[in-house]
A and B are shown apart, each in its own frame.
Chain A
């Protein structure tokens, strides 16, 4: 069989079990695509071909001996360079971690390893997951597979582009304010942002701890269910993972939407949203209505305040989380000779962080500093409560919410990079769900006239990822 890299997880799983091909062949096809396209796309910042082929061989041996293996066994995956991978360089695409090799695996990586993981490499991202375009990476920007002059989105742009161009069969990302959904939308793949705490974040470098989540990029809702099944659940190493039962996610895929109530937040289709984007999403909603769903317009009036809430609380948390990067316990020593220990910190951090990280650390430090805490941080945490109440009220009336992922499709490389505030607006429709910690699945909804993917997101109440999958499986 040719082009095995184009298969979905479920197709590949079946093919492996039917002995139509081996995991080694599947993995080799991914690497031939990587060798062809990665120099243009810059989706991977590190390739682990030898380890991947070794893992694939092990899976093949077990399959040959008739051993029953998990669904993800032998399926090639791209991993965002923010997940600790034991013995494999993990940089967060920051100069300060340029040569860092972690001594242990992130919890999710451990779980996937026990599922027979075949990791093809580490994917590009905005430095410490801060950005909406992967332009803030010390390895350079990731291009969009649909238009090489445009961005793949961010911060998990490498994972989205790698999957969209069939360099792997699924990939991992993190979503704090939209970093999975937005690049998934820009690259025309499925992007699962889970409920806050659904998947352990242990061993994944923290950005904003009250927002960060772990999720996947996949080519189908079924695949999203498979990856979630393998990664969700309580972990003693992440105390924010609650003891909430993990359901059988595949059981939601064939439920249909008859009688399901879908809310369309009018704020997600109004001012600041490109008409073409809104129209494409509405077309998909019409199909769901035909399939038996009940659709009504609702309002999430606090939507317009979400970006401000996020860009106060996230930098505050980030500035505290990134205090640990001082070039002492890990990370680069400063190149310039420091005078004393404090000067060492100044130089290590001044040399080691890129502009966007410096900006966010300074905003965070400022809003937490004496005299400003009440006006910024406390105020933002209160408005966050009102955003959550918006969602609570909406979910009293409807089962899920649907809207565009982003106000517009992918933008040109360089277009927003010198205007941080304009870049922050790219997250205007993904941040609200993150504020409330609710799950949201980005799905391909259609194409723009310029041939760029447009994504929609399905938002459900906390721990109801199944409902996102239920609706997504009817979107073609």
Chain B
């Protein structure tokens, strides 16, 4: 069960603006989904390891060389709608 206050809290952690009507709707829908997850408590996993990677690869290493030539700095900067300044993107002040 996810209360409306918990929905607001999680939305805040995820940096998502939610309207009050959304909070109500999501509280019900997310509760349904999370309640369903309880099915996993039927499974005994005491001596089971977690799986994070399925093909057994570990630590894919490469030489520390710059090889990315797929796009230029200017092309990447052009992806932003915000103003550019000294080859950086200008954002609003983080601290007022």
Contacts and interface: CB of A to CB of B under 8 A. Distances in A.
Interface of A: 100-105, 195-197, 203, 210, 236-237, 239-240, 242, 302, 304-305, 307-309, 311-312, 319, 326-333, 338, 340-347, 349-351, 353, 355, 358-359, 361-363, 365-366, 369, 376, 378-386, 388, 420-421, 424, 435-437, 462
Interface string B73-96: 001101111100000010111101
Interface string B24-50: 001001101110110111110100111
Interface centre among B54, B57, B75, B76 (most CB of A within 10 A): B54
Contacts of B13: 365, 369
A245 B65 CA distance: 26
Contact of A388 (B41, B51, B60): B51
Contacts of A342: 15, 94
Nearest to B2: A366
B: contact size bracket: 35 or more
Contact of B16 (A101, A237, A329, A349): A349
25 contacts: A100-B79, A102-B79, A103-B72, A103-B76, A105-B70, A195-B55, A210-B52, A210-B53, A308-B37, A311-B37, A328-B91, A330-B80, A340-B93, A344-B91, A344-B92, A350-B16, A362-B10, A363-B30, A369-B13, A382-B43, A385-B48, A385-B49, A385-B50, A386-B48, A462-B55
Nearest to B69: A104
A420 to B, nearest CB: 5
B71 A196 contact: no
Given A311-B37, A328-B82, A353-B16, 19 more contacts: A102-B79, A103-B72, A196-B54, A239-B60, A239-B62, A302-B43, A305-B39, A308-B39, A319-B14, A362-B7, A362-B11, A362-B30, A366-B10, A382-B49, A383-B48, A384-B51, A388-B51, A421-B29, A437-B54
Interface of B: 2, 6-7, 10-11, 13-18, 22, 26, 29-30, 32-34, 36-37, 39-43, 45, 48-55, 57, 60, 62, 67, 70-72, 75-76, 78-82, 89, 91-94, 96
Q: 4 closest A-B pairs (Cβ-Cβ)?
A: A350-B17, A437-B54, A103-B75, A239-B60
A341 B92 contact: yes
A102 B30 CA distance: 34
Contacts of A195: 55
Contacts of B89: 328-329
A362 B26 contact: yes
Nearest to A343: B92
Interface centre among B16, B29, B52, B67 (most CB of A within 10 A): B16
Contacts of A197: 55, 57
Contacts of A311: 33, 36-37
B35 to A, nearest CB: 9
B50 A382 contact: yes
A362 B16 contact: yes
A346 B71 contact: no
Contacts of B82: 328, 333
Contacts of A105: 70
Contacts of A307: 36
A210 B57 CA distance: 12
A332 B45 contact: no
Nearest to A422: B32
B45 A338 contact: no
Nearest to B96: A340
Interface centre among B45, B55, B93 (most CB of A within 10 A): B55
A177 to B, nearest CB: 14
A390 B87 CA distance: 53
Contacts of A381: 50-52
A110 to B, nearest CB: 9
Contact of B48 (A328, A333, A382): A382
Nearest to B42: A305
Nearest to A380: B40
A350 B14 contact: no
Given A210-B53, A330-B80, A383-B40, A346 B60 contact: no
